[in-house]
Each structure stands twice: as structure tokens, then as C-alpha cells.
Structure 1
């Protein structure tokens, strides 16, 4: 039996935890789970990246007291662990020589600690912890803002990364094993010149262990399996991946962690998978795992709902005690507010949800008011009707705003949010922003009104997603029709004019539950895939736009009879998108459940649209046809 095979005879425990805000709480939980795992025969117990506090926590890493607490908590775990069994967990490490970082502050490392018999284990290069090598700086990741990476340390010492990226020798049951410990991004090396997994394998590692704080994303586990399989095939080593669960935030975006901690054999086959979204300690013996496993397959809408639920629960945990008890939701008889109502009843119970309908004169139809009332009855929610006529008329009179004007619409929206805010202050509740991603993208909402609130659950959901989630609520979450079919079928409207039930002034094609809508997919292309106006013209000219956006055949022809109609609509939407940036940079926080979200996941400067030379040429060519 060679050394790599002998390590597979060991029992390895994966501790998948929800991370608390307090470092010592996480330490105590991890020690408790490690003790239970050892009682079950575990030889090595592994936690996740930055396990002692939230990995996503903005500039908290600049707080000296917090950094000291993280470091002293890691030292505390080492002092408490007197077993031959090995502990591995993530946290902040400080430089022994008190060297400075590139931000002028104390040098900090995103590190993984290896503990045995009350002491830190040193790797073969003499380092007392593993240091993250590859620093992600995209989307909401900003590691190099705070941490000094192993590449820089090697360069500083006149070495190459491979010299310092060494395994950790541990003696278990009389045998020495070499643990190749790396941190999160170190496995995602396809776009980097450095290859941490190969370095560890070349330097004698018997197994690869990756500690991650890896947010959930569409098909991410499938992609991760492919990445790990490539690593295992190239190195011939088994692979252990440990992630956390729950939600963390950067102030704008609530990120979801699904866990999915896993073990892979030397060929990259899945041999053990932890339950997703659950705290679990899983003890695995590789030698007993002969069957390759497959991950559970869930529908897109089920994944979407779970992501929003976990993110929203994470949001609820952040609220101060004074507003944790209740939520106030403005309900209009439309699908967005109906979905918010159904979600928070599911999460908080009907007794903690207050719904308000705020009609103005004859602008709100009897049908929408009746639907809102009936839905509240079905859910057992307190329903209040508070007319806003007097407030709107007074403000309009004092400011000279005329009925029917755009300003009059704004006044109605502001007074509705003022009513919600007053009631929330009275009962100790928080407010919901019901806006969806498509509306936020095009600025269809009043900044100091319907685009305000404490949390925006649909911030990263296209309008079509809202409809799909509505059906999911009825069919799966409640197993009955709580969102009325008439609400599902209702054409989007604002009810801010005398017409009442008429369509709003800036129509968009949202599609349906089964077919994608053009403007929904336009938003996704702009935000998630970073298309420009030029991209749309190129795809339209080549005839690939419908397939690129996964639209039904004939959709564009039905919406835009002529090329000029298409170009005019494109420019209208691009102007709306860029004009709404000033609203989005002041946006309400919400979940990340797609490839990109507004907030710190999508950083925008308040700038006008750039018409490139190529765009102008394409436009000229198309309009000549």
C-alpha cells in the first residue's frame, strides 16, 4: 500500500456549518462538532474557509479589534484541541514579523489552520498555516483589498509559489500523511498562470483538501464537479471539498451558501455528498466508497425559491430586535406584492404580516382591491385599507401638481410609502420593496417610494421569474391557490391614472411562465452577460437574437414589424437603463440568485450611454435595409 492509498484508510469528517457573526460562537460550535466526529472515528476534521466569521463582510477586515478577535479565536481552538485527530479550519492569520500589507495596515492572510495535539502544524516550507494563493477580484469578491496572498509572499522572499505551497505532515496511527490544503479559489485555477493543486501534488501531497466559502449559483455544483475531476485526473489524488451554508451579505447583496460539501476519489468520481442547505457533520472513509454518486436534480424554479428563502432568512437574522417581529407590505392586487405576501407569511407566519391597500379615488379598480383582500383572507393576514386621497390632494395642492400629470403619479407613490413607513414605525415592523429586476433595470418605480424599503426579495428576479415563483408558491409551498389566478393573469398596471386598469405607459414584453419575454431577457443580457447596445444590433443583423435570448420563434417579428421599430425600442430601453443608474446605486438590498445582480455584484458609475463607432455603423446599415 503506497502513502496516497494509506490516507484513504482514514476517516475524514466534513463539518458543514452556518457561520455566526461572533468568532467565538463559531469556534465553540466547530469544537463540539469535531468532538462528536472523533467519537465516530474521525481522524481528520475539516471546516470551511473563513469559518470563524463571515467571509463576505465588507470592510470589517479593516477593524483592528475584529482582526485580533479572529486571530485569538484560532489560537484558542488550537489550545483546546489536545487530540491526535487533526483539525483544519479557515480564518484570519497575522504575520509573525508584523509586516505591513499593501493597504498600509497590518498584513493579514486568508488562511487555513492545521491543528494537532494543541499546536499549529507547519507545512514543509515552514509556514504555520496555509495561505490562499489565488485572490478572486470579480463580482462581489474583493480578496486582495484586504489579504496578502501566497504568490506575493513567495515573490517577496525571492521564491516561486511552488516553493511555499507545500503539504502539511501529520502523524496518525503511527503513519505520516501529507495533507495538501488549499483555499476556495485555489481550485478554480483555469484562468490563472499558477496551479495550486498541481503544486501540492508535485510537492508530495497524499490528498487535496479545499476549504471554501463558495456562494450558490446556477449549475455551480455541476461546474465544480468538472473542475475537481480535471484536478483528480491530473494529480491522481482524492479531493475533499468543504463549504458552509446559510447567507452572508456585503450590505447590498445577500449571498446564498448551499454547502454541498463533497468527497471525490482519485479519478474525480463523487463518493460522498453532504445535504445541501443543512448544517451537517459527515464522516467519510474513502476506502469504503466504491460507487460514484450523482447530485440531486431540482427544477430551476425550485432552486430559485430555495435561494431566495435562504437569503431572506439571512436578512431576517440581521434585523435589530425592535423590527424583527413584523413586516408591513403594501398590496395592490398585482403579482409582485402578492408574491411578497406569500413569501413572508411562509417565513414569518400570518400573525406577523400586515397588508395595506392604499387606494386613491377611482384610480384603483374594485377588482384589484377585491383580489388583494381575498388573498389576505386565504393567508390569514391582517388586511387594512387606508385611502390616500386627503394626503395626495393636500400635497398636490400645496405644490401645484396637476391631476393626470407624471408628477401626480409620483405623489401617489410617495404617499403610499409614507403610509407604510408610518405604520411600520408604530408597530415595530420593517418594509418590503416589491420591485423586480426588470422594473429596477428600466427605472420603472419612484425612488423615494416603491423603490424604497428594508429588503427587496425580487431584486434579482426578472418579471417572468416572479410569475414562475407565483405558480411554485401555489403548487409546492402552499399546495393550494393562495395567489389568485386573476392576479397571475392580470396585465401589469400602475393604477395611477383615471383609467385605473389600463396598461402602464412604458410597456415591456415579459413573456409568460413558459416563454421568455424579450425585455426580461434583454435585462439579463445587459447585467449577467454584459451585453451592450452594439451586441443587440449585431445579433439582430445576423439573425441570432431570438436564439441568443432563448425567445420563441417569431417573437421579434410580433413585437417589431420593422427594423426601425426594433432600433427605436432598443434605444428607448438603453436610455431607460442608463437613466435609472442613479436609482440603482441607492437600491434596497436583496438576494443574489442569478449570474449577476444589482448592488455590489454589479458596480455602476452614473454615466450616460456610450454609442460606439461600431454601433453607429451597424445602426446605419440596418436602417438602410
Structure 2
């Protein structure tokens, strides 16, 4: 028996019940026009996924159900099956809020055949399923009519299929209950490499259960106030032998039809899961930098469209970070919609000012020069009159850095533009920014989840992508070191080949002091986080153990003390599994020392340098 399935990968907007429903109805009509047997939409397709407090509003939940019943169900003919995610309810909890289920509805012939409630609720990183939803009690399959024949389908929801991370295998259960095909709606968020993770997971599910597997993912943005989350699409379909037979576009709405022969031929099954990507699918996979660039371009364009900003504003220092952000903005918004401003003082050198002009000229964007020198001098003078003494170098640095924010906000009113923060992950964790400086405030922090080393790699990629020198070579050949160019710091005081990796391990991987020192001693540090130095030497050849321990101690302490700053900076766009912000759940008050030793019944804080004698070396 053959079955034609439409993967309806639609844009999903948080809380836009009417707009999301209209896009679902359009998808249904498209499936009818294409003579599909089944059309699959994403998880929580009507409400959106990152709804936060909306999930506590009873009327919002009621409206989402009414849109399903009044607008979607009547559109489904008898020769089409619709599988769509929504939020269902069952009365009210003791706290007065409705008891909710993350659910999927199976619809045919203008009737709801049945609903299934997600059993395995995601709770890691930014996920809040367990906060708002009650887990489903049992799995189920649905009997539907396909071209006059009755077949059973299973509809696990997103986390339900991640059997490696749970003690239950919902897909296997549905197969045992008679399912002939698995239709999986998702709201699976993006991080670099995530599509490959999904591909391997879905392929394994299809292969080991000998069942066709179709997964539709959402495309759009979500947020949890301090993090912007990208839903990247890339919906996939696999035959019962584990082969990927169709894939939707990434970072775009798409509608893909795929046909399956449900008969299983054991002679077609290989002795091991086909892990390699077929030649037909190879062109849809990107390398890391390309994937990140495309994701950030999509996020920039989508976020500003949703918030009503037609122009993006960036403050160009001539350093690496703003130089990398700038081409992303131009690609997303068009050069005519990018406002570039430089706010120099006497602390800024000719090289960085020249760099700022060079990159703007390379992409055809006017660079506005709005000097900070005169306002800075006025601030110094005002300070001296008020307190009868000269401000410290740190105070002067804050005057310049935060003064640029005042200039930037003023310009944003003139141009009607949204400011884009340019700080990177390493600087944010190390607190290498002034309170509310122009590099940390704005609509969003677009590279705030990229380490300094990843920013370097992105710069190289950008020049390759544009096939010319966009990022000045002096920022890539290390002849121009990272430079704050402020009164208290001409150059950045960090070895970024060392500290960016440590910061990434602390935030993304939840490593602590002892973990990192152990990995250094055993030469097990993640080479992606700790790349070779420019001279080709490894971190073990460049940094001795005492230097490494000092750096870990410094990064660990700064990661704790900088949380209050990060909490008040621009929301960070997530491109890794766990980002600083809501995703990492760090606390402003944190007195954990990182290491202790115990003597009888007394406990003392352990000097981090003593750890070498306390951590076993394999």
C-alpha cells in the first residue's frame, strides 16, 4: 500500500492564534490540491511553543481549542488525514490554572478521530514543558481511512521520540500497537549541528522499528525574555529502512510531499543503520560557520519583522565583533536598511577607525561619525566639579562606553532603528563590558552565544562567503590584537585561545573547576573549544598547568560575578545547546567556591592551586 504525506512546515508565531490557524488551513488546502493522503503540521501549531504566561490564561487556551474545532476541523475532507499540534486541557488544577496537555489532534472527515497527549516532557535548557503541561498517561495509535483501507498511525510528539534520553521508547510502543507509519510533530530548537543530531535519531527510529518516520519541525522564533530561540525547520522523512527520502528547507517555510510504500521488504534492509547521507541529500548539509551564519541572518530578519523594526543599527568599533555582526545585518536587512555609526574618542587608534570605514565601504553602507570626545570631556568636567577629584580610569572608561549608548539611543529615535548588540559570549561571561555599554544593549545580542574563537572562525568564513575582503585582514592575521581602546584598557587582557574555551565549558557544558583541571591534566579538553594557537601549538604546549589553573579560577569567579550584568543586557540569540541567559539558569547570588577540602568535621575552602594534588591523573 502506498501513502502520500505532505510535510507542512509553516511559520509559527507565539500567541498568534488566528494567523497560525490561517497558515494551517492554507496547508490543508495545499495538501488537498496535491492529492495527499495525510498532512502533518508541527507541535503546538496553533498557539506556538514559547508562550510562557499565556499558558496560564484560561481564555487563551480556550481560544486555541476553538480555533481547532471551528476553523481547522471543518476544512478536513473524508479523503485526507490532518495531524496537528495544539494545547488541550482537562479542568483546573488546585492552583487555579487549567490542567494542560501538549497534544496532537488527528482529524478526518470533519471530525477529530482522537487526540494524544505528549508523554515525555522536555525540561532541559530553555524547556518548560513540566512547568505548564501534565504528561500523557499512555501511548495510543489512531485508525484512519486511506484510499478505502484502514491503517493505524502513531503520532509521538517531539521529545517522545528521543528514546536515548529516557527510559521509555514511545515509538517502539506505537509500532507494537499496530502503527504502520510514525508522524511526529516537533518544535525542535536550533543549535549548530542539531539537524545532524535529528537526522541520526530519526533514521535510527525508522531503521530499528522498521517503520516509515516523518518529522515536521516548526520554523520561526521563540523567546524566554533573555534568550531568543530559533526554530529552523528542516523537516525530514525516512523510509522503513532508515533512509532519508525527503527534507524541507532550513530557516524557511516549506511544503514537501513524500510517498511511501508501507510494505516491508526484508531484503532491502541493510545489516546496519544507513548512517551516511545519500548523494541526493548531501547538498542540504552545511558546515558549522555556514549554518550559524544562515541561522543568524534568518533570526535577524524574522525578529525585526515581528517587532516592527525596518532598520538595524550597529555601532562600529573597527574591532572583530562588530565587523562580524555587520555583514549579517546587511545580508538580513539589505544595505539600505543598516545604520552604521562610529563613536570614537582619542583612545581609538587610526587602524580601528580605518577598519570601520573599510568594512562599511566594502558593503556599500554609509558610516556616520558621531564623536564621543566632546561629550566625554563634558562628563569628566562635570564629575570633577561635583566630586572635586579626577575620575578613575575605570570611571572614564564607563563614561565613554555608556556615553556611546546615549548617542546610539538618540540616533535610533532619528532613524527609527533597532540597535543590535555586538558583544560575544567570552566577553559577556568575563564581564568585559561596562554596565549598559553600546556593545551589550539593544534589541538582541546576535553573537552573544559565540565564543571569541568562534567569532574568529566566522570572520574567516564571511570573507570566503563574499569572495572578497570584508573583514580587514589585520583582524584575522593577529597583527591587530583585540582592543577595547578605553582609558583603563588599550587592549583586551585575555588570552582568548585559553579563556573562551573555559567560558564555553562553564556555561554550555556545566563544567566546574575540578572538571576542567582534570581534563587539562589528562589532555581531554574539547578541541573545538580549545583550537590550536596561531603558531600551530596546542594548549598543552602553550599553557602550563599553573597558568591553566589560574585562568580557570579567574573565569569561574568572573562567570559568577557577571550574572547581574548579563541579566540586564540584550537577550542573547541561542546557537548552542545552552546559552547564557534564561537557558543557563544562573543566579545572581552565588557563593559556591568551586572546590573544598574536609578536615575531620571542619570544612575549609580549597585554594584552587592545591587542586593539582587532589585530582587524580589517569
Structure 1 length as normaliser, TM-score? 0.87
The answer to whether structure 1 residue 120 and structure 2 residue 91 are counterparts is no
Partner of 2:602: none
Partner of 1:587: 569
Following superposition, the deviation at residue 586 of structure 1 comes to: 1.9
DSSP 3-state at the match of 1:540? helix
* Residues 458 and 591, structure 1, Cα contact 8 Å, conserved in 2: yes
The answer to whether structure 1 residue 613 and structure 2 residue 605 are counterparts is no
Change in CA separation of 1:137 and 1:496 when aligned onto 2, cut-off 3 Å:
same
* Residues 141 and 153, structure 2, Cα contact 8 Å, conserved in 1: yes
DSSP 3-state at the match of 1:10? strand
1:201-600 correspondence to structure 2 within 5 Å = 201-287=175-261, 294=278, 295-296=281-282, 297-320=285-308, 324-360=309-345, 362-400=346-384, 402=390, 405-449=393-437, 450-476=439-465, 478-488=466-476, 489=478, 490-497=480-487, 502-504=490-492, 507-510=493-496, 517-545=497-525, 550-552=530-532, 554-556=537-539, 559-561=542-544, 563-600=545-582
DSSP 3-state at the match of 2:583? coil
Following superposition, the deviation at residue 252 of structure 1 comes to: 2.1
1:142-221 correspondence to structure 2 within 5 Å = 142-151=128-137, 161=138, 165-221=139-195
The answer to whether structure 1 residue 107 and structure 2 residue 95 are counterparts is no
* Residues 317 and 352, structure 2, Cα contact 8 Å, conserved in 1: yes
CA distance in structure 2 between the aligned counterparts of 1:582 and 1:600, rounded to whole angstroms = 13
* Residues 354 and 383, structure 1, Cα contact 8 Å, conserved in 2: yes
Deviates more, 1:31-40 or 1:134-143: 31-40
* Residues 502 and 555, structure 2, Cα contact 8 Å, conserved in 1: no
**Cα shift readout 1:433-484 (whole Å, capped 9, x = no counterpart):** 11000000100001221322221111111112222222222221x3322222
Partner of 1:514: none
Deviates more, 1:490-499 or 1:285-294: 285-294
Following superposition, the deviation at residue 405 of structure 1 comes to: 1.5
CA distance in structure 2 between the aligned counterparts of 1:43 and 1:623, rounded to whole angstroms = 67
DSSP 3-state at the match of 1:424? helix
Following superposition, the deviation at residue 382 of structure 1 comes to: 2.3
* Residues 402 and 434, structure 2, Cα contact 8 Å, conserved in 1: yes
* Residues 358 and 388, structure 1, Cα contact 8 Å, conserved in 2: yes
Change in CA separation of 1:219 and 1:496 when aligned onto 2, cut-off 3 Å:
closer
Change in CA separation of 1:61 and 1:485 when aligned onto 2, cut-off 3 Å:
same
DSSP 3-state at the match of 1:225? helix
* Residues 457 and 591, structure 1, Cα contact 8 Å, conserved in 2: yes
Partner of 1:43: 37
* Residues 185 and 215, structure 2, Cα contact 8 Å, conserved in 1: yes
CA distance in structure 1 between the aligned counterparts of 2:103 and 2:217, rounded to whole angstroms = 15
Partner of 1:125: none
CA distance in structure 1 between the aligned counterparts of 2:434 and 2:207, rounded to whole angstroms = 55
* Residues 339 and 417, structure 2, Cα contact 8 Å, conserved in 1: no
In the alignment, which of 125, 134, 138 is matched to residue 139 of structure 1?
125
Change in CA separation of 1:222 and 1:423 when aligned onto 2, cut-off 3 Å:
closer
Deviates more, 1:101-110 or 1:526-535: 101-110
Change in CA separation of 1:623 and 1:407 when aligned onto 2, cut-off 3 Å:
farther
1:69-84 correspondence to structure 2 within 5 Å = 69-75=63-69, 76-84=71-79
Change in CA separation of 1:314 and 1:170 when aligned onto 2, cut-off 3 Å:
same
Change in CA separation of 1:374 and 1:624 when aligned onto 2, cut-off 3 Å:
same
Following superposition, the deviation at residue 37 of structure 1 comes to: 2.0
* Residues 342 and 368, structure 2, Cα contact 8 Å, conserved in 1: yes
* Residues 19 and 26, structure 1, Cα contact 8 Å, conserved in 2: yes
In the alignment, which of 49, 52, 58 is matched to residue 52 of structure 2?
58
Following superposition, the deviation at residue 370 of structure 1 comes to: 2.3
CA distance in structure 2 between the aligned counterparts of 1:586 and 1:441, rounded to whole angstroms = 13
* Residues 520 and 540, structure 2, Cα contact 8 Å, conserved in 1: no
Following superposition, the deviation at residue 410 of structure 1 comes to: 1.0
**Cα shift readout 1:401-443 (whole Å, capped 9, x = no counterpart):** 6366111111111111111111112221111211000000100
Following superposition, the deviation at residue 88 of structure 1 comes to: 0.9
DSSP 3-state at the match of 2:39? strand
* Residues 550 and 609, structure 2, Cα contact 8 Å, conserved in 1: no
* Residues 304 and 310, structure 2, Cα contact 8 Å, conserved in 1: no
Give the length in aligned residue pairs.
581
* Residues 209 and 240, structure 1, Cα contact 8 Å, conserved in 2: yes
- Structure 2: which 5+ residue stretches go unaligned? 598-604
Change in CA separation of 1:103 and 1:212 when aligned onto 2, cut-off 3 Å:
farther
CA distance in structure 2 between the aligned counterparts of 1:543 and 1:177, rounded to whole angstroms = 55
CA distance in structure 2 between the aligned counterparts of 1:71 and 1:379, rounded to whole angstroms = 48
In the alignment, which of 27, 31, 42 is matched to residue 33 of structure 1?
27
